[in-house]
Amino acid sequence: MRSLLVAALIGLVALVALAGACTHSTPITTPRGSWHGTDTLANVPADTPYLFAWLEAPPEAVRTRLMANADALIVPKLEESAAIPLDQRLEMPAARRALLGIMDAMRGTNPAMYWENLGFKRNGQWIMYGLGVWPVLRVEVADANKLRAILADAVKTLNLPIVEQKQLDGVPYWVASKDKLSAIASVTEHDAVVAIVPTASLAETLPMVLGTKPVARSLRDSGEIAKLSESYHLAPYLITYLDSHRIVDALERKDAFATTSVFSAPACHADYERIADAMPRLVFGYEKLDANGFMGTLVADLAPDIAKRMAAMHTAMPAPPDVAHALVSIVIAADVDTAIANVRTWMQALVDHPFECPVLAKSKEVFADGLEAVNKAIPSELHGLHGAELVLDDATEKPPSGSGYVVVAGDQVAMTMTQMLQKIPGFGGMTIAPDGQPVELPVGMLGVDGLRSAHLAMHTGRVAIAVGDRSKTEVSTALAAPNAAHSPLAILTWDVARFIKHVPSLLKNDNKTGLIQFSTIVMSVDVRANALVFEVGADWLK
């Protein structure tokens, strides 16, 4: 989400600068629609194939959290640009000088307010959608005159002859056309609009881009967003989706929003619909978003047969420990044989019934090679696996040490573990019966100075290995742990703050910068009804 906000900023500034701008002394008409809830969708056609929208601005404290990474990236760059002297700037290409001018305006007297310094509303809303496949971006503005003046300076520096300034129904706009495409930009008193459309369709598309003409049926009036939010239990903030069948329809349009003939070739329609049937829609939003943390949900609707096959991979594993009591835990509860069989079935279907569309023709070779690799590359030891769990209770870098355990479940794990021990130098003489009793392992051979104890225990369907001072007790507990009532296909819990503190070198500095605002993170992947559901939740660091 933060990256989308940054993309909105960069995309708006760059495209408007390319499209042109100038100052105005007379009031400018406000396009149809407003920045309040679903009214934001008044300009969006109900058949848009994609949508990225903030329907309500989050609380200021949440906005500060969400923008922390963007602030950490942008503010230092703005401060660095201030050190470039005028004589060096004069020798730079026009595009670089224009960008530096925009950065000067963003820096202002307080670089931390770079968004407001451009004239946009702090904690304002934004929306991106499609007229057909053609993108339109709208961003809420607080100071239109400031934004116009900044962009006017940038366009003057660029000195682009293709820019034209025009007006439609009292709304000024700027257009730059090249290679049969036109970039349109407009700054009204309340929003900035940028769009890319086919040049041949300008007369028809321009009124809808500027909001002076209502779309035939808007997403606001269709009520679809309310239904999506209710179905996926989404809070009234961010809503994004991609509708696969509408993308197919948009690619094949013959009207003003048409693309090119390659997308409407007769052989392609059935292939596009086949792909769309497999995954009809993607939806993302927040179930929770507040000062304590968030829970985001990405839902991929699936064809019933695909969803049924994926659901069949479910197995049962012990629940992960509470995120506050483990540094990291990963639980995978998926049957390997079923997963392999699914991949083979899907690839075989794509080989037996290949795509006929010219742009997809080479995919048959790719799937044939993939099918061959799957048939050959799966070691026999992986057959019969039902799941695995890794828990790192604690860790230190100096001295290198830690505690935790690994559990592997499967039909032949005991036999496989026995065979593996026979191949490890120094372990060959060990005899470990599948009776659940803990057996001490010779940790000295591992060469980890801080590791003093390790134990292994197993029965016919589960193997557990534990390390650390409590390894003997923990390995027995892990081996005997009851399965959860329901296990997602995969779930990760991560005490981020403690992890960074105890083992900082395991993360690159840029990753630490992105994670430092979080206390804990929980992610899961599961199949529910006819959908693949990915959830990510986090608590902010207090």
Give the pLDDT of residue 445: 60
What are 362-386's pLDDT values in tens digits?
Answer: 888 888 888 888 887 677 777 889 9
297 vs 20 pLDDT, higher one: 297
For residue 21, pLDDT beyond 60: no
Count other Cβ atoms within 10 Å, centred on residue 160. 16
Count other Cβ atoms within 10 Å, centred on residue 323. 20
The model's confidence at residue 213, banded by pLDDT at 50, 70 and 90, is confident
List the structure tokens of 47.
């058949």
Mean pLDDT of the chain: 86
Q: Report d(CA 421, CA 435) in Å as an integer.
A: 17
Give the pLDDT of residue 104: 95
Give the pLDDT of residue 493: 96
Please compute the mean of the pLDDT values over residues 41-64 and round it to a whole number.
91
The model's confidence at residue 242, banded by pLDDT at 50, 70 and 90, is very high
Q: Which residue has tokens 């026999």?
A: 380
Give the pLDDT of residue 447: 60
The model's confidence at residue 147, banded by pLDDT at 50, 70 and 90, is very high
For residue 44, pLDDT beyond 50: yes
For residue 531, pLDDT beyond 90: yes
Give the pLDDT of residue 10: 42
Is residue 65 within 8 Å of residue 517, measured between CB atoms?
yes
Q: Which residue has tokens 């009124």?
A: 207
What percentage of the chain has pLDDT greater than the value 70? 90
Lowest model confidence (mean pLDDT) among 101-110, 151-160, 199-208:
151-160
Our measurement of the distance from residue 418's CA atom to the centroid of its chain's CA atoms, rounded to an integer in Å, reads 42
Helix/strand/coil (H, E, C) string of 224-238? Answer: HHHHHHHHCCCCCCE
Lowest model confidence (mean pLDDT) among 128-132, 199-203, 311-315, 511-515:
511-515
For residue 204, pLDDT beyond 80: yes
Give the pLDDT of residue 263: 59
Contacts 24+ apart (CB under 8 A), 114-122: 114/74, 114/75, 114/78, 115/9, 116/142, 116/143, 118/9, 118/13, 118/146, 118/147, 118/150, 119/143, 119/144, 119/145, 119/146, 119/147, 119/148, 119/150, 120/9, 120/147, 120/192, 122/63
Contacts 24+ apart (CB under 8 A), 137-140: 137/8, 137/11, 137/12, 137/15, 137/193, 137/194, 137/195, 138/43, 138/191, 138/192, 138/193, 139/8, 139/12, 139/191, 139/192, 140/35, 140/190, 140/191
Count other Cβ atoms within 10 Å, centred on residue 352. 9
For 77-143, list the strands marked E by DSSP: 126-131, 134-140
Helix (H, G, I), strand (E, B) or coil at 370: helix
For residue 298, pLDDT beyond 90: yes
Give the pLDDT of residue 22: 39
The CA-to-CA distance between both ends of the chain, in Å, stands at 21
Burial 466-480 (b: 16+ CB within 10 A, else e): bbbeebbebbbebbe
List the structure tokens of 102.
């925009």
What are 504-530's pLDDT values in tens digits?
Answer: 888 777 677 778 889 999 999 999 989
What are 89-139's pLDDT values in tens digits?
Answer: 999 999 999 999 999 999 999 999 999 999 999 988 999 999 999 999 999
Taken in order 257, 263, 267, 271, is the CA torsion positive or negative?
Answer: negative
Helix (H, G, I), strand (E, B) or coil at 392: strand
Task: List C-alpha distances in Å: 29 to 26, 188, 207, 208.
Answer: 10, 6, 13, 14
What are 457-516's pLDDT values in tens digits?
Answer: 999 899 999 999 899 999 999 999 999 999 999 999 999 999 988 888 887 776 777 788
For residue 6, pLDDT beyond 50: no
Q: Which of 402, 477, 408 is nearest to 438 (CA)?
A: 477
List the structure tokens of 382.
């992986």
Is residue 457 within 8 Å of residue 476, measured between CB atoms?
yes
Is residue 455 within 8 Å of residue 438, measured between CB atoms?
yes
Contacts of 265 (CB under 8 A, 6+ apart): 357, 358
- Angle (CA) 481 534 238, round 5°: 135
What are 385-444's pLDDT values in tens digits?
Answer: 999 999 999 988 887 788 999 999 999 888 888 877 777 766 656 778 899 999 988 876
Give the pLDDT of residue 174: 87
Give the pLDDT of residue 211: 87
Give the pLDDT of residue 87: 92
Give the pLDDT of residue 262: 52
